[in-house]
Every structure is written in structure tokens, then in C-alpha cells.
DNA sequence: AGCTACATGTAACGAGTTACATGATTAT
DNA sequence: ATAATCATGTAACTCGTTACATGTAGCT
């Protein structure tokens, strides 16, 4: 599985502490991988044991010390091997859709409110992504290969949120 | 979590054996919930223990006996309670996007091929959903509330696959 | 003779969630 | 005062995957 690899990929660009990784995974990397703080710390422990990453304690003033992790050569090899394996589509497990199938058990307003709530969540997230698109990827012709790849992950997030928004609107129109 | 509820919802409409549920979850219910055979059997065991479902052994000729499960009144109550709880959006964990972030470590052809492969997967799945849409939901004006809800889950699947196809095409165009 | 479909399960392991535990600094 | 941010972890539990185990019927 791939939290391991998501961490390795992130450490491939620069060093992070567990806490920094967690923030990155909750904010920036939201559109491709989600992970909790505890999961990240556990995975970092495993990766260090097997030698794919190495850590260095960085003392800080007025703050707790932090353990900065960096990827090792062995870690890079591991990544390369993994990159060649085919990537499976994510398993779909969408609670809201399961609820729709049983919607006749509760008042219509319950379901409509759930859909409305989702519409808000996705609208908010889309705005975050679109802002980032404008700020960081305004000039597409100037992008390097690496930046293009990064941009495409953001585009996937934008399409995902847009698709949900369109569905929510269709659903509200159909059920109202 | 919600495999429990996905099973209860499915048994709400008619009785199924574990094997039937597995087929349903691999084919029909693919666009809202995925589950393996083993997971379903385990969950059925738990649900029966707690009294949310009940089973009856049905002898068959030329085939192994099967255990038909049905939902109990207690199970229906459990479902209703759950329907009122807010539904969280699914956690995004998309391997292909993680690979894109590290794409510079391998030849471009590797990534392009992975995207092409995804394009095929989603195109195929979209065709399945669209066929079902035409076969079962051709006359929207005639649909009952329950059927509309069911139709909307299919619409979500169609939008999901279409969104992926559009992204794959964008990605191929940008990286080629 | 070998493959697919039907049918149900156990066991081990890996991944993800929730709760608990600690402690300093900074902002309201 | 108290909440939020920074910082790292352990423990218990649930959920999801993979491997193992068994046996019949029908098709090629």
C-alpha cells in the first residue's frame, strides 16, 4: 500500500518532521492522499527501521525539538521500483450514496440537507484549489515537466470537486 | 463505518446470501461501495450476532445450501438512526496522483502508460453505467422517489468516470 | 483434465481510526 | 484563564486485504 510511498515521495523533494508531514497531508496533499498524524508517525518509524529514510534531531528555541526526516538512496530505489508497478484506481466507498439507496426510510428533508451540506463542503474546497491554481500555475507555458505533473494532480482535485458540485445540484433539482 | 450499513441497506430491499451480496457489491453497487467476499461474510456474522439481521438455510439441488439473510426490525431501527447522522466525504487516496508527484524519477513513457491504462479502465466502466442508465432509467418522468434516489447514485458513478476520463485526456495532452 | 460458477468460511496480516498521554509557547 | 499551535509518541480497536481450506456441478 501507499502511505509509505506518499511519504517517500514527499520526502523526495525536501526534509520534513512528522508534524510537518501531517500538516502537508491535511492541507496541500489533500487531493491525492489523506492520512492522520498517528498513521504518519507509525509509518515514519517503520520506514526508518528498514532504512528508507533517516532522521536528525533539530533543536529549536521556544519549541520542542523536532526530528527531521530525509529520504536515503535505498528509499529512492524503493520509490523507483514502486513507480513501475501499475496503479489501481481507488476503491469507492461513498456513505452518502449508500444513504440515498435507503432514503425512503427518513423524511426527504434529511437527505436534501445532507446533499446541501456536501455541496457546501465541495464548493469550499474547490475555491481553495482554484485559488492555488491561479496563484501558482497561472502561466502554463512556463512550467517544467515536474511542475506540470504537480499541476495535474491539482487539476484532478479541481475536477473531482466540480464533479461533486454538479452532482449535488442535479440531485437537489431532481428531489425537490 | 459503513460496510455494515451498506449491507443493511441492501438487505432492506430483499433477502440475499453472502455470495449474492458479494456479486451485488462487485457489480451493481460498485459505484457507491466496494467490499470483498471475506469482508462481507465477516460482517454478516457480526450483524447476525447483534440481531440486526437473521438467516435461514435454504437447501438447493445440485448446489451447496445457502444462508439467506433478511433484515430484522432492530436492523431497520439501526439504519434509521444512521441515516440521520451526517455523511462524511470519502477519504481520497489516489495512488496514480502520488506517482505523478514523483514522475521525474522514471521515464515519461512509464507515467503516460499508467494514465492511458486508467483512461481505458474508466472508459469501460462508463460504458457499463451508461448502458444501465439507458436500460433502466430511460423515462425519468415516470420514476418514483425511491427510483430517483437510485438513479442519482448511478449518475454519481457516471460523473465520476467521466471526470476521470476528461482528466486523463488533459494529462496525456499536457505531458505528450 | 482443467476451468468457471456456486457456496461458506478461518487465519494472519496490514492499514486506518480513536483514545490516551505529555508538555512548552503564543495568542485572545 | 483557556484555547490553539508546536511536537512526538503508545495502545487498543476496527476495517480491509491476502492466503488458505473445502467441496459440488457444469462446461469445454
- Reported as a single tens digit per residue, the pLDDT across B70-80 is 999 999 999 99
Q: Is the CB of A91 under 7 A from strand D?
A: yes
Q: Which residue has the cell 475536477?
A: A159
Cα atoms in the 13 Å half-sphere on the side-chain side of A138: 4
Residues of B in contact with A111 (CB under 8 A): 149
B92-101 pLDDT, tens digit each: 999 999 999 9
Per-residue pLDDT reduced to its tens digit, A7-38? 999 999 999 999 999 999 998 888 899 999 99
| DSSP-derived pairing of the beta strands B53-58 and B66-71 | antiparallel
H helices within chain B, ranges in order?
3-13, 18-26, 37-49, 73-84, 95-101, 108-136, 145-175
Q: State the nearest Cα–Cα gap between A161 and chain B, in angstroms.
A: 10
CA–C1' B26–D25 (A): 23
Q: Which of A7, A73, A99, A143 to mutate to test the interface with B (most CBs of B within 10 A)?
A: A99
State the smallest CA–CA distance between residue B160 and chain A in angstroms.
7
Model pLDDT, residue B60: 79
How far, in Å, CA of A98 to CA of A94, rounded?
A: 7
Could you read off the pLDDT of B115-130 as tens digits, one per residue?
999 999 999 999 999 9
∠ at Cα A71 (A66, A77), nearest 5°?
A: 165
Distance, in Å, from the CA atom of A105 to the CA atom of B40, rounded to the nearest integer, reads: 23
Name the residues in A21-40 having a C-beta closer than 7 Å to nucleic acid strand C. 34-36, 38-39
Say what the pTM is: 0.94
Which residue in this structure is represented by grid cell 509509505? A4
Contact B33 A92 (CB under 8 A): yes
Question: pLDDT band for position A128 (50/70/90)?
Answer: very high
Say whether B30 and A111 touch across the interface (CB within 8 A): no
| Cα–Cα dist B73/B55, whole Å | 14
> Which of B119, B149, B159 would you mutate first to test chain A, the one with the most A CBs within 10 A?
B149
Q: Which three cell numbers stand for residue A55?
A: 532522521
Q: Which residue of A has its CA nearest to B88?
A: A95
Q: Over chain B, what is the mean pLDDT?
A: 95
Share of chain A above pLDDT 90, in %: 90
C-alpha A1, offset from chain centre: 15
Strand D neighbours among A 27-46, CB < 7 A = 37-38, 41-42, 44-45
Q: What average pLDDT does this structure show over A74-93?
A: 95
What pLDDT is stored for residue B1 in this prediction?
67
| Backbone Cα Rg of chain A | 20
Rounded average pLDDT over A126-139: 95
Is residue A60 scored above 90 in pLDDT?
no
Give the per-residue pLDDT at A152.
Answer: 98
d(CA B163, CA B31): 14
- How far apart (Å, rounded) are the C-alpha atoms in residues A30 and A154? 10
- Cell numbers 506540470 label which residue? A148
Q: How would you class B139 by CB atoms within 10 Å of its CB: exposed for 0-12, middle for 13-18, buried for 19 or more? A: exposed
Amino acid at each position: 500500500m501507499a502511505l509509505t510511498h506518499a511519504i517517500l515521495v514527499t520526502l523526495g523533494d525536501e526534509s520534513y518532521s512528522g508534524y510537518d508531514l501531517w500538516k502537508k497531508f491535511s492541507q496541500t496533499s489533500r487531493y491525492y492522499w489523506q492520512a492522520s498524524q498517528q498513521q504518519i508517525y507509525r509509518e515514519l518509524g517503520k520506514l526508518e527501521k528498514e532504512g528508507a529514510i533517516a532522521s536528525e534531531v533539530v533543536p529549536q528555541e521556544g519549541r520542542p525539538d523536532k526530528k527531521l526526516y530525509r529520504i536515503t538512496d535505498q528509499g529512492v530505489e524503493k520509490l523507483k521500483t514502486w513507480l513501475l508497478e501499475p496503479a489501481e484506481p481507488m476503491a469507492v466507498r461513498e456513505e452518502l450514496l449508500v444513504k440515498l439507496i435507503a432514503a425512503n426510510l427518513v423524511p426527504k428533508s434529511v437527505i436534501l440537507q445532507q446533499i446541501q451540506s456536501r455541496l457546501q463542503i465541495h464548493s469550499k474546497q474547490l475555491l481553495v484549489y482554484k485559488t492555488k491554481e491561479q496563484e501558482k500555475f497561472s502561466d502554463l507555458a512556463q512550467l517544467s515537466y515536474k511542475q506540470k505533473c504537480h499541476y495535474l494532480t491539482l487539476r484532478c482535485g479541481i475536477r473531482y470537486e466540480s464533479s461533486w458540485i454538479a452532482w449535488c445540484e442535479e440531485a437537489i433539482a431532481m428531489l425537490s
